A = this chain, B = another copy of it.
Amino acid sequence: MNREFRTRLASNDLHHIWVRNVDLTEDIVGKMSFGHVLFLLVIGRQPDAQESRLVDAVLVSLIEHGLTPSAVVARVTYSLVPESVQGAVAAGLLGVGGVVLGSMEECGHLLYEVNAETRRGVSLQDAIHAVVDDYTASGKRIPGLGHAIHRDGDPRAARLIAVAKECGRYGPYVEAVEELENQAQLAAGRRIPLNVTGVVSAVLLELGIPWSLHRGFALVSRTAGLVAHIGEEIEDPITPRLRSVIRGEVDRLDRS
């Protein structure tokens, strides 16, 4: 018997589906919000009302930011294979990592390690100081800080921290990410404000979501945005114009 092939996430019989042992039909559909069930699935227990609100706040923070490269990739791919919406969405999601949203995972990992340090008795200031020193020495960008457009501060960052406070979830991770901002700015001698991904990581850690799944929460959120972009591409496509902009130049290349 292969008892290894099992999941605690869901089970079913002829007439029922259970999600984390909660009856999907009886107790979930029509009663719980999507964010509530996402928390239930990942954490294994139901969130309280404040946790549920905070999950939604995180998800909607990242849902849409205009014609990002990822959105363009999904729209162009859709125009090539309209029969395969999943291919277009997958293509768009494949850009969610490294440069843009990958920093979230790195920031979550960093805050997790800092928290482990402070539990061992190191002061928050010292723990963050060591982190900032390391990054400064190696010349790498500190994750969670700075934004190409919102150079005076990512408006989502401050708002998410405020919502976390309202929900009673301002804890050591949010405190740590704010200290990170402070010390990074001191070390650099200029303004490098917190961005949304840094705060999202801190808030997800406050909710008990391990850092290795933070990028996953961004993927849920971005999938919604990409579906909306595909809907707009159907009605009002950008791809033909994009192709002509790119091709225009290619076709005019001299062949001498």
Q: Which residues of A contact B (CB under 8 A)?
A: 1-19, 24-26, 28-30, 32-35, 37-38, 41-42, 53, 56-57, 59-61, 63-67, 69-73, 76-77, 79-91, 93-100, 102, 105, 149-153, 155-156, 158-160, 162-163, 166, 210, 212-213, 215-217, 219-221, 223-232, 234, 236, 238-239, 241-243, 245-251, 253, 255
C-alpha spacing A27/B15, complex, angstroms: 41
In the complex, which of the residues A59, A89, A153 has the most CB atoms of chain B within 10 Å of its own CB atom?
A: A89
> How many identical chains are in the complex?
4
Q: A9 — which chain B residues lie within 8 A by C-beta? A: 64, 66, 225, 228-229, 232
In the complex, are the beta carbons of A87 and B85 less than 8 A apart?
A: no
* A-B contacts, 9 listed (Cβ < 8 Å): A5-B250, A24-B64, A30-B159, A33-B60, A38-B224, A41-B224, A81-B97, A81-B99, A84-B98
The answer for the CA separation of A162 and B3 in the assembled complex, in Å, is: 37
In the A-B complex, the 10 residue pairs with the closest CB atoms: A216-B227, A30-B163, A80-B95, A41-B228, A81-B98, A90-B90, A4-B241, A87-B94, A81-B97, A5-B249
Whether A35 lies near B33 (C-beta < 8 A) is: yes
Question: A255 touching B87 by the CB < 8 A rule?
Answer: no
